[in-house]
Amino acid sequence: MEWLSLEFMQRALLAALITGATAPAIGTFLVQRRLSLLGDGLGHLAVAGVGLAFLTGTAPLPMAVLICVIGSIGIELLRETGRASGDVGLAILFYGGLSGGLLLAGLAGQGAGTLAGYLFGSLLTVSAADLWVIGGLGLVVLAVTLGLLPQLFTVSADEPFARSIGLPVRLLNIVVVSLAAITVTVSMRTVGLLLVSALMVVPVATANHLVIGFRTGLLTAMGLGAFAAVGGAIGSYYLNTAPGSLIVVIAIAVFALSWPISQVLQRRHRPIVEVEDPVDPIGHELAEAHLHEHSEDCGHLVVQHADHLDYVHDGHRHAAHEDHYDEH
């Protein structure tokens, strides 16, 4: 455990913890809006900010935050007016950001090696000043996502309804993308700009498997993200690899483990199917004797049939009748 006494490791672990918790928090809203890959695009855009910082000799983190937030607001306004509906425009913007960043870094005399620390994370590069910025911005992201959770949820779930109750829809949409942009750039020292999107999406998908409820899911995803980020940072110290790759591999491994659990949970929450034009049951046909007692959570497909529920069992619909089941 000698790494705990290393100052750069303490900073790296704190940065990982903050990143791991914030990325899934904002990612939950992006996944809800089917914008899972927006984080990836914003990461590309942030590379331009890093390149520009190299060229102008300023600190990379604030510059990347600035470029990325401006870009994200521009994207949102384009999306709102319907002009960014084709994804080609976004692709050009994002790859423009990546190539521009690489070009600017090259012009500044920085090789691809320096940039790799930002693309895939690097434990050694978290300075004390960076940690303050990461901590401050992470706090802002968490305060806003948790504080405005019901509003942001409503806007991303049902925009027309949100508008109808008078929520400032445009402002809240801009808040979501700006927070996503901040989260992406804050993550560049730990998980890296090319892999941060995974941390925004994978823990959310895992939580989706494990728990019910938007708020519960968001909090669970934060915990899973923090676990993967801290675990990956510690592991990469021993393996001497870029932390980003290990963080994402851990997150995906946890996702894979959650799969069988979700299958069991989903069986219990199968939707009730309705018979469109129910005909009242004809006759009174006894089902074969069976000991199983059907219930809404028993895993058998439930069909709403006129005024009662049928359970699909061995290709028949069983309806409870006094002490036995009828075939419907």
Partner 1 sequence: MTTGSPSTTSGDSVVRAASVDVTLNGIPIVRGATLDIAKGEVVAILGNNGSGKTTLMRALMGLIPHHGEIEVFGTPLARFRDWVRIGYVPQRGSILVQQATAREVVASGRLGHRRFFLPESAADRRAIADALAEVGLADKATYPFVRLSGGQQQRILIARALATGADLMAWDEPLAGVDHKTQELLAGVATRLKSKGTTIVMVLHELGCFRNLIDRTIVLADGRVMPPGYNHHDHEHPHAGHRDVHGGHEVDETERPRTHRTGLEVG
- Six-digit token string for 209: 């498997």
By C-beta, is 132 or 260 nearer to partner 1? 260
DSSP three-state, residue 38:
helix
Helices marked H in 108-213 — which ranges? 112-119, 128-147, 149-157, 159-164, 169-186, 196-210
**Cα–Cα distance measured from residue 191 to residue 54, given in angstroms and rounded to the nearest whole number:** 20
Positions touching partner 1 (CB under 8 A) are: 31-34, 147-148, 150-151, 153-154, 156-158, 160-167, 207-208, 211-215, 217, 269-276, 278, 304, 306-307
Residue 111 dihedral angles phi and psi, to the nearest 5°: -80, 175
Quote the least distance from Cβ 105 to partner 1, whole Å: 38
Closest distance between partner 1 and the C-beta of residue 41, in Å? 20
How distant, in Å, are the alpha carbons of 28, 70, 118 from that of 101?
A: 28, 16, 11
Instruction: Please state the closest distance from residue 234 (CB atom) to partner 1, in A.
Output: 30
Between 86 and 271, name the residue whose CB sits nearer to partner 1: 271
Q: How far is the CB of 24 from partner 1 (least distance, A)?
A: 13
Q: Nearer to partner 1 by C-beta: 170 or 269?
A: 269
Which is nearer to partner 1, 123 or 254 (by Cβ)? 254
Q: How many CB atoms lie within 10 A of CB 178?
A: 21
Rg of the chain taking only CA atoms, in angstroms: 25
- Kindly tell me which of 158 and 285 has the beta carbon lying closer to partner 1: 158
Specify the residue for token string 């990143």: 19
Q: Name the minimum Å distance from CB 34 to partner 1.
A: 7
